[in-house]
Structure 1
Amino acid sequence: MKVLVVCSDFPYPADHGGRVDTWGRIKIMSELGWDIDLAVCGKYEPSPADLEAVKRVVSEVYLCGRSSGIVDLLSPLPLQVQSRKRLRSLQVGSGYDHVLLEGDYVYPILHNPQVSGANMVLRVHNNESAYFKSLGRSARKAVHKLYYWMESIKFAGLQKKLAQHVDKYLFISSKEYDVFKNEYPHKGSLFLPPPITRETFETSHFAAKNVVFIGSLFMPNNREAVEWYLKHVHPRLLNEEGYKLIIAGNSRGQGTQWITDYGLSRIEVHDSPKSLDDIYRSGYLFINPMRNGAGVKLKTIEAIQNGLPVVSTSVGCEGTGLVHREHIMIADQPDDFIHAVKSLLDDWAYAGKLLSQSQSYIRKHYDHKAILSGVFGSGIQEQREPLIKQVL
């Protein structure tokens, strides 16, 4: 089995949600004994060390840079796609059985003559049209809102173009899978949850009442989530003895002054930490207070694997299959969110029970290797029904 994986971002190190999903899948395919090549059209060149780490897993790595200008804004394709137009002429290998597109952004690879004849598989990380619309709601500046709105419309058109070329769809979100299946019942499609990234899950750490948020701090929907929590929840938890909020994530050089501007106490911020392990270990529970977004919020799944029970909004856990009060706590209003956090901080036994049940659910239903074997082996059409029963 020879597979070309095409990414819009270098997948290593796996330091945010999209990379966690992509890199985990690449490793699993390698473990299955498949011959994997990797093509990346990203904004940044990988470091020699990161490139060497990836080459220990894949056979070949093909790189090209993004290219965009003012004229590209006039393209009917989204700018995120048009800027990766070099994929059309990127010199890659030959004889691929499958080409795995890691998201809509790498659509231009479908027009590369060197992959002609391969089976085209699309990993759907988000409904990009809905995702960019949600970013527009979260953005503050009018020019950013206009950009996200335009991209949303263009991605809606791109979805129809993709349907003409893609043979199989792999949805990270069960919710988006259900919507697509109803709209395109003739297309091979499957719910493929994110891969389990740890051989063994961390156990609970309830020594200190540290509430943790980890996410990309440059993204407007994550910033909106943190600010909502800082405005409506955090001040009302300061009377909880021992409570502290820990915020960590990559700011891409934009800094975290917007957090400290709130002037609130008991907040610890880690800007672009090299490792998240110690931050997870220092936590009691994880919060995901997202108000807008699409797809699966991998931060929720990662937190559970790293030993933290989760309090989330409905948006923060959609598409995961996790159930309120059985696996996690779900709350959308400030009063309910505060109550959920307090109930776990004040009852470590209940917090531990939720964590244990959520980890058991992920172990059972997020078996990436078994599902991938079916997808790239017998095909989706034959395997779809039994696999769906297995994972839902």
Structure 2
Amino acid sequence: MELHLVSLNVPYPANYGGVIDIFFKIKALSTSGVGIHLHCYDYGRGSQDILNSFCRSVTYYKRKVGLRSAFSSKPYIVKTRNSKELLVNLCKDSHPILFEGLHTTYWLNHPDIKNRIKIVRTHNLEHEYYQYLSLKEKNLLRKIYFKSEARKLARYESILKQATRIAAISPSDAQYFATHYQNTFLLPAFHPYNQVKSEEGMGTYLFYHGDLSVRENIQAALFLADAFKDEPFSVVFAGNKPPKELIKTLQGKPQFQLIENPPTKKMSELLSQAHVVLLPTFQPTGIKLKLIASLYEGRHCIVNTNMIKNTGLEKLCHLANTREEFVLKAKMLMNQSFDNKDLIIRKEILGKWFDNQRNAEILIQEIQKLQVTNF
């Protein structure tokens, strides 16, 4: 089987949610024998030789960022990914097409690919995500942009009716898309892990990690800093590009430690040495890859409802929603070893839902069924 895969960004380095899913999907599909023709929108990452190891061809297109695209009726994240060269290349054969994210669907309803197998991998409910960003943004111009983009995305989403199938990333997203567009199946997130690496026994601190340039993660870190400001526990925060607001909040409190821009190896070490990973989120759509990382490499995880609901991972986490509940659960778990029983159930559930090769086969089988029936 050969497959066109249209990526919203160059999927390497695989160092944030969307590209982690794309890169490790590419690896798994390649291992399963799929010949991948990768199409990447580039806006700063440049060509990456490692992609040639997993793909039969790799083509890069410039993303057309700028103020002009912001005034389009189409969402900015879509309008800036409208390469005509991409359409020409997709029309050179009849291979199925996998569009990664609503971002890449500019040509989805074009008549030249009307009769093709077209699968859209949704990473999120994009209009809800941008609405959330608009509510939390403090900069007025950015707030206006996020609010406008949320409205455009809500209108634009109906283009998914033109997809042959929608590959939703989480059970809750699958339920939403199945209700609105019907042609949906669940394809869990792809990730870097081949086995559970969590260590039995006791760790030494509470831990929060995430991309700290993202408002959602900044809000979560500030929530935890406020919850634990008067507690005796050592709390380590780690992530890329923390804002001054967070740095100032954590400074002068000896129980808090901020590790800025840790490389992947260092982040793995921090996870393995933590005893409890704290994972609140205030944006409920999609699935947070930081949760998957924490379950594969960390010990106990305390999460809120937004993080865990309808993920299939509820049995592996401890639930807390308020500041007081996070503190109470942390006090309990800091005195509770992570033992072999915890490890066994973790391996069982993660193996069922998040085995990359198994999930690659789910995608391949969906495509093969469509090819047989001519959808």
The alignment's TM-score, normalised by the length of structure 2, stands at 0.89
Q: Deviations over 1:61-120 (max 9, x none)?
A: 111122133332221111111111225656536324211111001112436787564311
Distance of 2:26 and 2:37 partners within structure 1:
10
1:198, 1:305 within 8 Å by CA — same for their partners in 2?
A: yes
Q: 1:371 to 1:227 in 2, by over 3 A?
A: same
Q: 1:72 to 1:349 in 2, by over 3 A?
A: closer
Q: 1:123 aligns to what?
A: 121
Look up the equivalent residue of 1:41 and give its one-letter code: Y
Distance of 2:343 and 2:370 partners within structure 1:
34
Please provide the CA RMSD for this pair: 2.4
Unaligned segments of structure 1, at least 5 residues? 383-392
Matches within 5 A, 1:82-161: 82-86=79-83, 89=86, 92=89, 94-110=92-108, 117-161=115-159
Q: 2:205 aligns to what?
A: 210
Matches within 5 A, 1:1-392: 1-46=1-46, 51-86=48-83, 89=86, 92=89, 94-110=92-108, 117-163=115-161, 165-185=162-182, 188-195=183-190, 197-204=192-199, 206-231=201-226, 233-238=227-232, 243-251=233-241, 255-262=242-249, 263=251, 264-275=253-264, 276-323=267-314, 326-349=315-338, 353-366=341-354, 367-379=358-370
What fraction of aligned residue pairs are identical, expressed as a percent?
Answer: 20
Shift of 1:153: 0.8
Q: 1:222 to 1:279 in 2, by over 3 A?
A: same
Look up the equivalent residue of 2:313 and give its one-letter code: L
Shift of 1:365: 2.3
Unaligned segments of structure 2, at least 5 residues? none
1:37, 1:59 within 8 Å by CA — same for their partners in 2?
A: yes
Distance of 2:127 and 2:372 partners within structure 1:
26
Shift of 1:293: 4.2
Look up the equivalent residue of 2:246 and give its one-letter code: I
Look up the equivalent residue of 2:352 and give its one-letter code: K
Q: 1:111 to 1:191 in 2, by over 3 A?
A: closer
2:202, 2:338 within 8 Å by CA — same for their partners in 1?
A: no
- When the two structures are aligned, how many residues end up with a matched partner? 365
Q: 1:190 to 1:348 in 2, by over 3 A?
A: same
Distance of 1:155 and 1:180 partners within structure 2:
14
Look up the equivalent residue of 1:259 and give its one-letter code: L
Q: Deviations over 1:177-223 (max 9, x none)?
A: 112212223xx210111135322210325443222222111111111
Q: 1:109 to 1:215 in 2, by over 3 A?
A: farther
1:288, 1:313 within 8 Å by CA — same for their partners in 2?
A: yes
Look up the equivalent residue of 2:262 and give its one-letter code: P
Single out whichever of 108-117 and 128-137 deviates more from structure 2: 108-117
Distance of 1:250 and 1:109 partners within structure 2:
34
